Amino acid sequence: MDGSSAAIDFDAVILAGGRARRLAGADKPASRVGGRRLIDIALHAASRAGRIVVVGPERDLGDGVIQVQEEPPFAGPAAAVAAGFAALGPLDDDRNVAVLAADLPFLTAAAVAELAERRTSANAPAAFALDESERLQYLVGVWRADALRQALRTADASMKSMIPGGALGVPIAGIADVDTAADLAAARERAGPVGIVAASLHSISPVDPHSVDLGDLPADDLDRCLDSVLARPLAAAAEFPAFDTAAMDGYAVRGPGPWRVVGPAVRAGHDGDPLAEPGTAVPIATGARLPPGADRTIRVEETSTLDDGRVTETTDGRDDTRRRGSSWQTGDRLVATGAVVDAALLGTARAAGITRLDVRGPLRASLHTSGDEVGAAGSAAITDTASLPVHALLARLGVRVGRGEHLPDSPSSIADALGSRRRPGELVVIIGATGRGSADHLRTALDEAGATTLLDGLPVRPGGSLLLARLPDGGLLLGLGGNPVAAVAGTALTVPALRDALLAATAAPAERITVTNAVAVAHHELWRIVPVHPDGAGHWSANTVTSTAELRSLVGARALALLPPGGEGAVRRLV
């Protein structure tokens, strides 16, 4: 959309009534998403309108908003549109009138302006938003006044019956409405800090994959692959088990019992003598290969010894043998692309005869402190207490961390950290320098480096003062707040998503927890990150963060949790 759309004049009718039956009768327009009421989001989307009419119950909407109620109340959207349109009074035929629902958490003023511009330039009777499923959204539209007037004369109670021939459909992203409690929860998640971070990373391209030759790595060095991410599925190069093995200590037997024990025990890693005759058995250890001629394995706990020394079983025909290829066959896909390489995956690869992995990562980062005051000599010095917990958290998240130089308050020092000395594709983490004071040069350095800012601040405390930028070579810059608790919180909030984006990892599902004192410690308007510990009864309790400048609130904490505004709603465990 070009800037000319902002100059298109229009009025707006916002529908804010309805019974919200699928939302248990709740006052849907008063529901909050991202700290704002849905009605306030609709008002902001219509903020370029000359006049705004809201149809529905009387609300606190501020000055300048005309409020009316359709008669009878809850008579349907067409009746509500008619009431709102009438409240606008006489209009020129070619006047633009936006008709919007008050249940669209991501509707923007730019989207409404684009609809007005597209309708005007095409001289169409109306223009409606097309959602991602290419469905017309009848309550996200801009009408020509005479077309709306005519539609209201001839329509029944439904909006669909009003749609004129020749109406435009304009693709508009992110216009899903809220009808159910699940819709509301999803919208709140998307509008929260985690959703904002994820959206900021949509344009990120993963780093190039590389191959790791497992055959060249001694077993003690395989941990160098840990925390990388599969770039191709893990496919078995050999079947498993490779031969029939005993799953339990017991007896390998041939034919029906009782069985005569004919030889020494077969140990794991050793071949046993064949069982040449029916009615014979040999002791066998867990993991040992069944000797030739053996039919099955019977665990020792399910056998007894007769007076003549023969062995019989006390159950009916159980077989404790792991059969060749019973876990997987050659060529079977064992693990999908996007899986994080952990010890279990490496063990599976070795068992499957795989000698090479195609992976991305592990993610590597250089960690810098910044600021003249940090580590300086003299009475004005501040001890660096942020880098150690940030380093530890990065490592816990699977990042290989290198300690970068301390960066004084100068544009050149930050430029050096972003420049040629940095390995391409690497994540640069700078603690501090995200403020906007005279000593903060990060944004200037990013501009001069040709970086693209993806995110500059979040509605969360602590940790909201952060900055994320894409560097020209594909690497990322993460700027964290200078206070240690804020730096840790910002790391927990952003790095899992950064890692997943750069390494093309399959994101883990969100972990929801119950924090018993969430309401007491939550911020009334902003999201809040708090340290939590289990209470022993399946729930969690949050520590109060009295100061982000010192770390006592994090001592002994088992996790960090993200509380929604007011503490009511789903609580997400971050790390």
Q: Set out the domains of the chain in order of their start, with CATH numbers.
A: 3-191 (3.90.550.10), 210-239+327-360 (3.90.105.10), 245-322 (2.170.190.11), 364-503 (3.40.980.10), 511-573 (no CATH)
Q: CB of 467 within 8 A of CB of 456?
A: yes
Q: What is the CA radius of gyration of the chain?
A: 33
Q: How far apart are CA 346 and CA 566, in angstroms?
A: 44
Of the candidates 558, 566, 562, which has an alpha carbon nearest to the alpha carbon of residue 574?
Answer: 562
Q: What share of the chain is helix, strand, coil (3-state, %, to 5)?
A: 25, 25, 50
Segment 183-222, tens digit of pLDDT: 888 888 888 899 899 989 988 889 999 999 987 767 667 7
pLDDT at 3: 41
Query: Quick one: pLDDT at residue 438?
Result: 62
Q: What is the DSSP letter of 338?
A: T
Q: What count of residues does the chain have?
A: 575
| Average per-residue pLDDT for the chain | 90
Asked if 404 and 419 count as a contact pair (C-beta separation under 8 A), the reply is no
pLDDT cut 90: percent of the chain above it: 67
CB 366 within 8 A of CB 417: yes
pLDDT tens digits, 283-310: 999 999 999 999 999 999 999 999 999 9
- Dist. CA 37–CA 105, nearest whole Å: 9
β-strands 559-563, 540-542: how paired? unpaired
**What gap in Å lies between CA 545 and CA 526, rounded to an integer?**
15
As given in the structure block, the two tokens for residue 272 are 């046993």
Given a cut of 60, whether residue 546 has pLDDT beyond it is yes
Q: What is the structure's pLDDT at 155?
A: 64
Q: Is the pLDDT assigned to residue 381 strictly greater than 90?
A: no
Kindly indicate the confidence band of residue 547, based on its pLDDT and cuts at 50, 70 and 90.
Answer: very high
List the beta strands (DSSP E) in 393-472: 400-403, 427-431, 452-456, 460-461, 467-470
